[in-house]
Amino acid sequence: MPPSNKKPLVFVTRRLPDHIQARMMELFDTRLNESDTPLSQGELIAAVRSADVFVPTVTDIVNHEVIAAAGEQLKLIASFGTGVDHVDLAAATERGIIVTNTPGVLTEDTADMAMALILAAPRRLTEGDRLVHGGSWQGWAPTSMLGQRIWGKRLGIIGMGRIGQAVARRAFGFGLSIHYHNRKRVHEEIEEELDATWWESLDQMLAHMDLITIHCPSTPATFHLLSARRLKLIRPTSYIVNTSRGHAIDEAALATLLEQGNIAGAGLDVYENEPAINPKLLTLDNVVLLPHMSSATLEGRLDMGEKVLINIQTWADGHMPPDRVIESQI
């Protein structure tokens, strides 16, 4: 930590909610990115050379090169976000730099958006919106804009952590049959509460679901977890939703299967190479595409910012921050 008579120099890579920035400037010697444009690797390196505390977001790639260039005074990377796959934790640990995140505050917001996509894709909500806004709607007709019923369908949840369970609770209320695949089976009480069925085999679950939603953490093991081979196991009448990480799905393979009608539709909020999106997806009517906005609520962003402030202040006071990330936990 810095000397007790000196405020730590904190560098923030993107614009945060006004209240959070104001508090940060009151508490610390803060440098802000007023332009709110993503920083280049060179700009990230320049920032870590002078900062005591570095506050990146999930889109800032804090890799080995950036951490290796950090000054000796950098002791805390207080990331604004839950995921930490953008930070080289091993390199940070080697340099004695603590890494923190903002866990738990986005669970309900992300679950809300996943449920919205679970409803939107089968019921063709965005297609209907485009029809009306485009001036092409000619009025109600018995066979117009037919979608798929949600009630009674089977939902397969990949990853039954906090967000997966929150989605399951919402989906249960919509009459969906809850199924899940997880590295470890959840507690019996949770299964009973949600009437949830565990599938040890992801392949087998995929082949039997009407809807699939992804909520797994970002690790090397989850890269292309839904590979081209696994995507082909999904039935032509089924839908897939992703509010987790784009690279959990082989996006090119998914686009091809959607185009061919081998998967009925998809609702996507994240992408493999975002902000770039596979051009094929942009041409398809059976895909709902959102701009990585599952966590985008004012309340959520404020809660995230408060956690960042607490992590920095706790460190500055000479204590271990409450949201320290340890590599073995990821």
Give the span between the Cα atoms of 182 and 200, in whole angstroms.
7
> What residue numbers bound the domain in which 278 lies?
107-289
Give the span between the Cα atoms of 236 and 251, in whole angstroms.
17
Residue 306 annotated as catalytic: no
- Helical spans, DSSP H, in the chain: 18-27, 41-50, 64-68, 89-94, 107-123, 125-133, 162-173, 188-194, 202-208, 228-231, 251-260, 279-282, 298-316
- Say what the pLDDT of residue 277 is: 96
Q: Which of 31, 162, 208, 292 is catalytic?
A: 292
We report the CATH number of the domain holding residue 28 as 3.40.50.720
Residue 272 annotated as catalytic: no
C-alpha angle 219/224/228, rounded to 5°? 165
Within a domain: 3: no
The pair of structure tokens assigned to 209 is 């679901």
Give the span between the Cα atoms of 75 and 95, in whole angstroms.
8
Q: Which of 245, 247, 272, 301 is catalytic?
A: 245
Cβ–Cβ under 8 Å, residues 87 and 145: no
24: buried, middle or exposed (CB in 10 Å: 19+, 13-18, 0-12)?
A: buried
CA 320 to chain centroid, in Å, comes to 26
196 and 243 housed in the same domain: yes
Give the span between the Cα atoms of 201 and 327, in whole angstroms.
27
Ordered mean pLDDT values, 10 residues apiece, the chain (330 residues):
75 96 97 93 96 95 96 97 92 97 95 98 97 96 97 98 97 97 95 96 98 92 96 98 96 98 98 95 97 96 97 97 79
Residue 187 annotated as catalytic: no
- Say what the pLDDT of residue 243 is: 97
Within a domain: 313: yes
Rg (alpha carbons) of the chain, rounded to whole number: 22
| Side-chain half-sphere CA neighbours of 86 within 13 A | 20
48 and 21 housed in the same domain: yes
308 and 276 housed in the same domain: no
